[in-house]
Structure 1
């Protein structure tokens, strides 16, 4: 994995999961969206986390408006791919097969299994 790309913490990933669908948003908008899942999260916590994430390069900030607007520095798929590559190297000795088998053993729903089987049939010649 490219070491120049910062790895988000669990709290930062949680915030990114909220921000990705929004595209770009103020801290207030992110706070309101996060409250649906985590009613205990405070505005001050969200704002501070977004400021830290901006400092780390995980978020970009548009300061042209009164309320700063933040957006993810990386697309969701790109960040997930980088994190996955890192996980495969560190936890599965570079084996994507070992990762997939571990994921399948951890329990998947019938629908997820059907989706995976369809994907494999559609992708393979």
Structure 2
């Protein structure tokens, strides 16, 4: 299952903070145009889709991501590589390194990773 952009924003907060209330997630979104009830509705939809779980044992319900960050990133990356770069990992890497300046530390990590392959 592929989360929508709004669902991804919520998942990012849940991955960072862990189990959280709707209020906490809503505050983390920093969206002035979206109301609390919109965030609540999105999280209820995500619950129905099986993306999050909800603990109702306390007064404040807590939500937790059921999709792992790594699996979700992997799925999105595969889709990008296949649809935008015609399956070419090389083009993706060259574009990513060409568009954003990587620090020396990041370049060293990339070199180390490549050497280990």
Closer, same or farther: CA 115–39 of 1 in aligned 2, 3 Å: farther
After superposition, the C-alpha distances for 1:46-101 in whole angstroms (9 at most, x for unaligned) are 10110111112221222222322111112222211121112212222222112112
Contact 1:34 1:41 in 2 (8 A): no
Matched, 1:122 2:104: no
Q: TM-score, structure 2 length as denominator? A: 0.84
Tell me the residue number matched to 1:93: 86
SS of alignment partner, residue 28 of structure 1: helix
In structure 2, runs of 5+ residues without a counterpart are none
- The answer to whether structure 1 residue 108 and structure 2 residue 100 are counterparts is yes
* Structure-2 residue corresponding to 1:15: 10
The runs of 4+ residues in structure 1 deviating greater than 4 Å are none
Distance 1:108 1:11 in 2: 25
Corresponding residue SS for 2:54: strand
CA separation of 1:115/1:78 partners in 2, compared to 1, >3 Å: closer, same or farther? farther
CA distance in 2 between counterparts of 1:10 and 1:54 reads: 16
Cα distance in 1 for partners of 2:28, 2:84 equals 33
Taking the aligned partners of 2:49 and 2:87, their CA distance within structure 1 comes to: 27
1:24 to 14, 19, 28: 19
Give the Cα separation in 2 of the matches to 1:121 and 1:94: 22
Unpaired runs of 5+ residues, structure 1, are 1-5
CA-CA distance at 1:113 after TM superposition = 4.2
- 1:7, CA displacement in angstroms? 0.5
